[in-house]
Amino acid sequence: MKQMHGIAASPGIAIGTVFLYQDDTPQVPQYSLAEEAVEEEIRRLQDAVQRAEADIRQIQQENNSRLEKDEQAILDAHLMMLQDPTLFESVHRKLQEDLLNVEWVVHQTVKELMEKLMASGDPYLKERTTDLRDVSKRVLSHLLAHTRVGLESLQEEIILVTHDLMPSDAVTMEKSKVMAIAMDAGGKTSHTAILARSFEIPAVLGLGTVTRMLSGGEVLIVDGNHGVVILDPDDQTLSEYRTMQDEWHEHENQLMRLKNLPAETSDGKLIYLNGNIEVPEEVVSIHSHGADGIGLYRSEFLFLGTHSLPDENEQYGAYRRVLESMQGRPVTIRTLDVGGDKLSTHIDHRDEKNPILGWRAIRMCLSEVDLFKTQLRALLRSSVHGRLQIMFPMISGIPELSRALDLLEEARQELRDREVPFARDIPVGIMIEVPSAALTADALARKVDFFSIGTNDLIQYTLAVDRGNERVAYLYEPFHPGLLKLIRMIIESGHREGIPVAMCGEMAGDPLATVVLLGLGLDQFSMGAVGIPEVKRIIRSASMAEAEELVGSIMEMRTAAEINTAVQGYMKKRFGLDA
């Protein structure tokens, strides 16, 4: 028996037999060409690209009735890659310079581009290498006359184990037969993760070497709740996980019965539970888990991993799609938040010696005014299709906020001049994720319609902890007394000015923090949609009186360790939660 830890990408527990899906790309030969043979190689490439396009269109046609919007979007993106001249211009140039066969040139060109994406430091760009690899494999298969093996013909229930599932394979696989996915590569925002969550298939990604441990046919446990896979479990472990699986299914069934009920405490306090999304396709999960709205739509994912910056119409289309699909429920869209650990290939981030504290988010937008106003106009135009709320990230004080509001008014006037309609009373808010904003929240609250606390950054900036650095990860403490005091200060400042206060960081979706946040006075929680039912259960079982009593006791404590121990003990005893 061997236990491995990875990324909990999609919740649930599965026990089954391994189907090892190996990379079937053949070896790519390398040989020299005569100069006069280059034109023939270019013709072969054009033919392979056309065949690859035909493959994708055939998949779309044959699976049209069962493809979800997010799957269709993946295939459309692959078609766009095949039709983008940039990549193939590089191949043409290398063919003429290196005089090597086209298969080798395609292989090397794609390899170099993937290395650049992986070196970018941006998790989203790293994960987009999967799409590039998928498209290149399809082209190479035609150049090499190789038949690819798919997952569309699975006959028995299996646990899919693979190094890196190609998006086109994920789209076409027989999903009813896939009990779970365990993968060497991948992260929470990869296509595989999004599709797994959408179809509620348990998944653990980022395992590194799980494919080297297996040959196929073994029994495997996939625990998507905790990011654990267990190879060749013994009888006792199997028995324990079967019990856990039964308990999980029963727990999920009970939680889903709350879907259409309000998140209201036992003494009558109504709390709004919203979902966070990164791509429009995740709206399906928002609805299925009973969210009241979208509390954070990370609009920067329209700008990452693309061949060009999205123009006003492209952005308008994406925002409109989300607003319409929410059917009148509120949608909070955060303006562009790139820089730091999210880099766009179309914006110059050079010479950033400390990018987390550097030119990012609203700072970058206030410098790149044309880019920012393009987004603002697209947002305003989309507002006629639903209940839009606009949110500015990383505001550190009044001057930044005033400038952002001025640019928003300029965007409004430009639309008036064009006689383009938009809603007149769009709520505008800010993320509080910088200590200076928390400390001046009273002044900021007078200029906006709502606050949303971004705990991911607020914690790292308050505690001076790089949340991506494993050496200091132990210092990243959501229950640090200093942080809790800042959160209380933000909420009280907002309430004094009569505006609601939300939280959209990971802390909002942590069930262990639910009662503490209630006691601090939080009005709205926003999280990954799958976390909503559990948080709703706790809120409906709790009272404001007990939440305030718990907060009163922990605010007297001096260390995060003391508070953690107290909260974990309370939540286990009161709600049956484990740490």
C-alpha separations of 244 from 161, 237, 248, 459, 541 in Å: 22, 10, 6, 33, 23
Catalytic residue, chosen from 107, 163, 349, 504, is: 504
Give the DSSP letter string of 303-372: TSS-SS---HHHHHHHHHHHHHHTTTSEEEEEPP--BTTB--TTS--TT-SSGGGSS-HHHHHHHSHHHH
Phi, psi of 221 (to 5 degrees): -105, 130
Please state, in angstroms and rounded to a whole number, the distance separating the CA atoms of residues 359 and 254.
Answer: 46
Identify whether 191 is a catalytic site residue. Answer: yes
- Which pairing describes strands 219-223 and 203-205: parallel, antiparallel, or unpaired? unpaired
**CA–CA separation, 67 vs 504, rounded Å?**
31
Which residues on neighbouring strands pair with residue 296, listed in sequence order? 276
| Whether the Cβ atoms of residue 388 and residue 428 lie closer than 8 Å to each other | no
Strands 524-528 and 270-277: parallel
Set 107, 142, 191, 349: catalytic member: 191
Do 257 and 300 contact (CB within 8 A), yes or no? no
Return the number of other C-beta atoms located less than 10 Å from residue 233's C-beta. 20
2-5 sheet: strands from edge to edge: 2-5, 228-231, 219-223, 13-21, 158-162, 178-183, 203-205, 7-10
User: What is the C-alpha separation between 138 and 228, in angstroms, rounded?
Assistant: 32
CB 400 within 8 A of CB 433: no
Query: Residues 41, 102: contact at Cβ < 8 Å?
Result: yes
Among 200, 185, 63, smallest CA distance to 134 is for 185
Could you tell me which of 288, 287, 281, 278 has the C-alpha nearest to residue 333? 278
Query: Which amino acid, residue 145?
Result: A
Smallest CA-to-CA distance from 429 within 523, 507, 357, 520 is with 523
- Identify whether 365 is a catalytic site residue: no
Q: Which of 437, 487, 479 is nearest to 565 (CA)?
A: 479
H helices present in 418-543, as ranges: 435-439, 441-445, 455-463, 481-496, 514-520, 532-541
Amino acid identity, position 415: L
Question: Quick one: which of 313, 276, 316, 326 has its CA closest to 297?
Answer: 276
Just list the catalytic residues: 191, 504
